[in-house]
Amino acid sequence: MAVLMKGKSLASLRDLSREEIEEILKTSELLKLQNLRGQDHPLLKGKTLAMIFEKPSTRTRVSFEVGMWQLGGYALYLSASDLQLGRGETIGDTAQTLSRYVHGIMARVFSHQTILDLIKYSRVPVINGLSDFSHPCQALADLFTIYEKKGKLSGLRFAYVGDGNNVAHSLLYGCAKLGVNITVASPKGYQPHPEVVSYAKDEAKRNGSEVIVTEDPIEAVKGADVIYTDVWTSMGMEKEREERVKTFRPYQVNTKLTRHAKVDYLFMHCLPAHRGEEVVDEVADSPNSVIFDQAENRLHTQKALLALIL
Contacts of 230 (CB under 8 A, 6+ apart): 162, 163, 165, 167, 168, 269, 270, 278
Please indicate whether residue 14 is annotated as part of the active site.
no
Please indicate whether residue 175 is annotated as part of the active site.
no
Annotated catalytic residue: which of 132, 298, 300, 302? 298
Annotated catalytic residue: which of 135, 157, 169, 300? 135
Please indicate whether residue 138 is annotated as part of the active site.
yes
Please indicate whether residue 230 is annotated as part of the active site.
yes
Annotated catalytic residue: which of 117, 270, 300, 302? 270
CA triple 91-93-98, angle to 5 deg: 95
Annotated catalytic residue: which of 61, 108, 244, 269? 108
**Pairing state between β 126-130 and 266-269:** unpaired
Annotated catalytic residue: which of 14, 59, 61, 138? 138
Among residues 201, 190, 180, 263, the alpha carbon closest in space to that of 230 is found at: 190
User: DSSP characters for 112-141?
Assistant: HHHHHHHHHH-SS-EEEEE-SS--HHHHHH
- Please tell me the distance from the alpha carbon of residue 43 to that of residue 81, in angstroms, as a whole number: 31
- Please tell me the distance from the alpha carbon of residue 175 to that of residue 88, in angstroms, as a whole number: 40
Residue 64 · residue 85 · CB < 8 Å: no
Please indicate whether residue 270 is annotated as part of the active site.
yes
Residue 263 · residue 286 · CB < 8 Å: no
Please indicate whether residue 61 is annotated as part of the active site.
no
- Please tell me the distance from the alpha carbon of residue 11 to that of residue 133, in angstroms, as a whole number: 10
Annotated catalytic residue: which of 137, 230, 300, 302? 230
Among residues 185, 197, 188, 166, the alpha carbon closest in space to that of 228 is found at: 185
Neighbours of 80 (CB within 10 A): 15
Contacts of 20 (CB under 8 A, 6+ apart): 3, 5, 8
User: Which residues participate in catalysis according to the annotation?
Assistant: 108, 135, 138, 230, 270, 298
